[in-house]
Amino acid sequence: MSRDPVPAYYRIYQALSERIATGAYKLGSQLPTDAELMVEFGVSRHTARSAVEELVSRKLVRRFPGRGTFVLESDPASRDWSARALEDLKIDDPDARFDLHGIERLPPHGDERVAALLQVPATQRILRISWSRVRPTGPIAFCAAHLPQELAARLPADIAEQMRSARVIPLIEKYCGVQAFRVQQASSAIAADAELARRLKVEVGAPLLLLQRIYFDIQGTPIYYSDLYVRSDRFVHKIELFRHHQQVELARPVPAGPEAPATNRSVRSPS
């Protein structure tokens, strides 16, 4: 019997990409694990993983360590900032470094607006963490994030050092015993005040994009609030939305005249 010249991993890649193209694996859905692919296709873990890495390299899926592989998440190399999942709300720019400015505990009544958003008493101390994302050409964004005292007290003494090489939300989840389940975001345009102008290297009064986010756990309790100020001339914030819990099909040409069908097919596209 002649040997199949197509490598096993590539045949699996073709099968998985076909499922993605036909909608068997929907946008944002999770792919089978490596172990499940091994059983389905009767291959080794190395072969199964190579097939998924091929999907990753072609930007059809993204891997999240500890969570799995998901279909058509945003491309981290893109200069557009596209959000389809909670994980995509971070600025993922390989050219931008993380600059931590400070970690401080606000005094009682230090920021009553933030206390109200975190649903804690105004008398409670709140932890504020501030940092920037900076490209070689200059800063992209400045963030002031806040944690309730109950969670802040669980952070380790070296949290500032850890933040230089790890994302903030995963660190909070790791040490505080909570998990971000959903996020609310409000977007608005503001004029830079003197402090923001200094942080973002713009003129006072320059337009900025303000993204205000509240992260909630699965019980609906706020665990984190941030004000993210973005230079829109250096980063584009884009959100793609897809239909939820509804079957959608690719549009097909509709014949003109009396032969046309009575109903139109839905177009699979952002809502």
Structural contact between residues 91 and 235, judged by C-beta atoms closer than 8 angstroms: yes
Q: Is 1.10.150.80 the CATH number for 8-71?
A: no
CB atoms within 10 A of CB 225: 25
**Digit-coded pLDDT (tens) for 187-223:** 999 999 999 999 999 999 999 999 999 999 888 899 9
In one-letter notation, the amino acid at residue 103 is I
Nearest to 194 by CA among 205, 183, 185, 186: 205
Q: Where are the beta strands (DSSP E) in 58-206?
A: 61-64, 68-71, 80-83, 97-106, 126-135, 138-148, 182-191
At residue 106, the 3 state secondary structure works out as: strand
264 pLDDT higher than 50: no
Nearest to 229 by CA among 126, 131, 106, 93: 131
Looking at the predicted structure, is the pLDDT value of residue 34 above 60? yes
pLDDT tens digits, 91-134: 667 788 899 999 999 999 999 999 999 999 999 999 999 999 99
User: Is the pLDDT reported for residue 85 higher than 80?
Assistant: no
Please answer whether residues 188 and 200 qualify as being in contact, where contact means their C-beta atoms are separated by less than 8 angstroms: no
Domain assignments of the chain as residue spans, ordered by start: 8-71, 80-239
Give the three-state DSSP class for 117.
helix
Q: Which class does domain 80-239 fall in?
A: alpha beta
Same fold yes or no, 8-71 and 80-239: no
